[in-house]
A and B are shown apart, each in its own frame.
Chain A
Amino acid sequence: MARIPTAELSRYLFAGQIGHRGCLRASRIRIAPTSSSLQTRQFASHVESQAPTATTVPPTPLRKQLKEQAKALKASGQKKKKKVDNQTVPGWELTVGIEIHAQLNTARKLFSPAANSFNDDPNSHVALFDVAMPGSQPVFQPETLIPAVRAALALNCEIQRVSRFDRKHYFHWDQPSGYQITQYYEPFAKDGKLELLARDGIAAEDGESITVGIKQVQMEQDTAKTTAQPGEVQWLDFNRVGVPLIEIITLPEIHHPATAAAFVRKVQVMLNAVDACVSGMEAGGLRADVNVSVRRTDDKCGTLGTRTEIKNLSSFKAVEDAIIAERDRQIAVLESGGVVEGETRGWAIGSTETRRLRGKEGEVDYRYMPDPDLGPVVIDLPLVQYLASSSGLAPDAETDQLIEDYGLTAKDAISLMALDDGARVQYFYNVLDALEQKLGSASVDTIAVDRGLSTLAANWCLHELGKLTELSNNLGMTHKGECKVPSADLAALLYHLHRKEITAKVAKELLWAIFRGEISQGGVTEAIEANDLWFHELSEKEYSDLADQVVEGEDKVLGEFLRFAEGKGKAYPQGKLMFLVGKVMRAGPEQRMDPASVERVVRARIDEVYIPGLKSKE
């Protein structure tokens, strides 16, 4: 295109006139100017207002709109609050009650002898009563009491001698009989409590510990598994119908979202420990529904606000996020003068607000009635006592033992117990046992544990083992506590390390070699022997000689130590000491030097030789 003459351009921009030379039609195209007086200042707006008048403005793409909204929000100064800082809203009190459904670990279902399975062929474990065949009757399977009672005892509940089953009526394709058999009026366990400590991850505002009361624990049936298919079709697998569940209902005593998440986490740990519920939230074995209500802190009337129920929470993070979102929504409603409706809401992972599932009008009337087909459940007291005594050491007691007797930090103890579904801590015990045996130190009966040994073993089981691979699955940890690094071999490694026969650096290399399979089982000592990896430490004299060698010309540094010795310095110049230690390490044969010994020798030489030497120079 030829260059447009400046005159024509200026006529177009300032007067709106387009030359019609060469146009097909004779009529002039004239665009009226906005203002003639302030032309230069309005130059830019002028151009924009004139240019696209013939065509419509293209709609801004959605992505651009959202980006601009986010930018505006950011510019207005509203930053996203961190969850740790978002536990309370000033002026408001949050109250949360939780209902947890956990699948019991039993061989058979609750009211039929069909097998309790997981991921078996669909519809392969279905009894006549499970699909409500006319004429079929429920037959209570007493062995389902074993995990149920243990779970209730772990939550410090009182087991009722007599409890009864009730029917909860509602129609859904996953409930063939049209009612769920539950224990609404007379549950088998009541009035329990669970204590949460700071180390369990409760909100900082709850202090050192908080005790959450448990109203009741009841047994009930599970429903069928539904898989949604395209075209509004559902595929049903009735293997899960009739599988025993326990429902744990808490009192509304939780006041912070992080504490609610910590509570659900702790319940999962407790149930796993007594073998009551072995599949966690991620596998769908544990589900939580939360009831949320808010009221003002200066509210004198003493009643709680209207509560809403949030269903379908499938992870601990979702519990905390959903409670925060619902609390904020309810506060917004109340502050704008509205009224919170008692409804059922849902939460999807990644959303910012809960969704309404069912309003009060859709509130279901369950028409609870005692089930006449089933007799009462009568539990003998000696059975309860037997189940209590065979539950083993409670997780809290184990954590306390690890901290107090074995000398671990609270964080390390919790991590160790949580890793590999509880297998890592078994591995740690195995390693420690083997180590103690090799050292011949502790006999099996003594209670006192050598804390130096236990902390060494814990460090290696937790941190060094973790460094070997990114995915902890790759360690191949079995539930009995064995993995690709056999506990006996790690114990042999730590045995040599503890006796200072090898350096830490060498030990780490050996660990890596064991993991990769380069060292055969039981061949640790041989490998050290074969590759001559023994630590032949330098003698004291050799250390001293090296130190003297390094210190030459470092009078300025030594001056710092003199100043401290004379009382002129504020603190011992540790940094300068480590500088000298580093210099010594670099000067001599590294594989023959122990940093701790070097530090000790250098410190001693400073005090005994160098400082007096400096003083004599002055």
Chain B
Amino acid sequence: LLSKPTWSVRSLLPSEPTSTSTTPTITPKQLHHLLRLSALPPPSSPSAEKSMIATLESQLYFVRAIQQVDTTGVEPLRSIRDETAAGLKEASISVETLKEALEKEESWGHCKRPRRRRDVPVDTYGSEDWDALGTASQKVGRYFVVKSGKGVA
């Protein structure tokens, strides 16, 4: 029963002779646009550009193969989380969850409007206790320095 394979990964890759006759190609212009969007350097030579386009095309072949799957009625997965009712209940934000923050506000004035009290010190749970400026390649006083002129790497 399991002697002959019914499917191979090779079906997801374009076979060599499948040239670009039927499917639309990626133009160099599109490649450059994509590289610019991703802040990647443009190809160094025409042969590098050709190989980039070829790689991209084989990847797109794979993507089209995946897109053949029928997904009507299936909600796209954004990330793996507990989607059960219990999980949703646990994740929901209620008055109880915000009790501490709600205690730090007062209702003031003639119209009884809410106002967050500013005299309470804010607990940042140690998130600020590291030397942020130590990571600066260039700094002036307490500021990070960035060069903004054109032609700057």
Contacts and interface: CB of A to CB of B under 8 A. Distances in A.
Nearest to A225: B143
Given A123-B144, A235-B143, A235-B145, A380 B114 contact: no
Contacts of A221: none
A321 B113 CA distance: 34
B54 interface: no
A383 B127 contact: no
B81 A375 contact: yes
A235 B93 contact: no
Contacts of B144: 123, 235-238
Nearest to B97: A142
Interface stretch (A391-399, A495-503, A512-520, A589-597): A391-399
Nearest to B76: A370
Name B's interface SS.
loop
A392 B79 contact: no
B113 A237 contact: no
Given A124-B128, A238-B132, A383-B98, A378 B107 contact: no
Interface residues of A, number: 68
B109 to A, nearest CB: 5
A105 interface: yes
Contacts of A372: 78-79
Nearest to B94: A380
Interface in A109-167: 112-115, 121-128, 131, 133, 142-143, 145-147, 150, 162, 164
Interface stretch (A226-234, A300-308, A326-334, A342-350): A226-234
Contacts of A236: 143-146
Interface in A543-585: none
A122 B136 CA distance: 13
B48 interface: no
Given A122-B142, A233-B147, A383 B128 contact: no
Query: Chain A interface mostly helix, strand, loop or mixed?
Result: loop
B86 interface: no
Nearest to A367: B37
B150 to A, nearest CB: 8
B114 A392 contact: yes
A380 B97 CA distance: 10
Given A146-B102, A275-B115, A115 B95 contact: no
B122 interface: yes
B93 to A, nearest CB: 5
B116 interface: yes
Contact of B146 (A131, A233, A376, A390): A233
A234 B127 contact: no
Given A125-B128, A238-B132, A383-B98, A115 B114 contact: no
A379 B147 contact: no
Interface string A90-112: 00000000000000011110001
Contacts of B122: 107-108, 115
Q: Which of A146, A367, A429 has the most CB of B within 10 A?
A: A146
A43 interface: no
Interface residues of B, number: 51
Interface in B91-107: 91-95, 97-98, 100-102, 104-105, 107
Given A128-B127, A227-B143, A273-B113, A143 B98 contact: yes
A408 B21 CA distance: 79
B148 interface: yes
A32 to B, nearest CB: 57
A426 B120 CA distance: 24
Contacts of A275: 105, 113-116
B132 A391 contact: no
B110 interface: yes
A150 B113 CA distance: 11
Contacts of A386: 95
A234 B145 contact: yes
A269 B105 CA distance: 20
Contacts of B125: 113
Given A143-B101, A145-B98, A146-B98, A390 B114 contact: yes
B126 to A, nearest CB: 8
A48 interface: no
A378 B37 contact: no
A377 B97 CA distance: 13
A169 B36 CA distance: 12
A178 B38 CA distance: 9
Given A107-B101, A378-B88, A126 B128 contact: yes
Nearest to A133: B135
B112 interface: yes
Interface of A: 105-108, 112-115, 121-128, 131, 133, 142-143, 145-147, 150, 162, 164, 169, 171, 173, 178, 227-228, 232-238, 273-275, 365, 367, 370-380, 382-383, 386, 390-393, 398, 425-426, 429, 480-481
15 contacts: A122-B143, A123-B132, A126-B132, A233-B146, A233-B148, A234-B147, A235-B140, A235-B145, A237-B143, A376-B81, A376-B91, A380-B94, A383-B93, A392-B107, A393-B112
Top 9 closest pairs, chain A to chain B, by CB = A392-B113, A232-B149, A143-B101, A393-B111, A235-B143, A378-B92, A127-B127, A372-B79, A380-B94
Given A113-B123, A125-B128, 9 more contacts: A124-B142, A128-B127, A142-B97, A232-B148, A236-B145, A371-B78, A380-B92, A392-B107, A480-B109
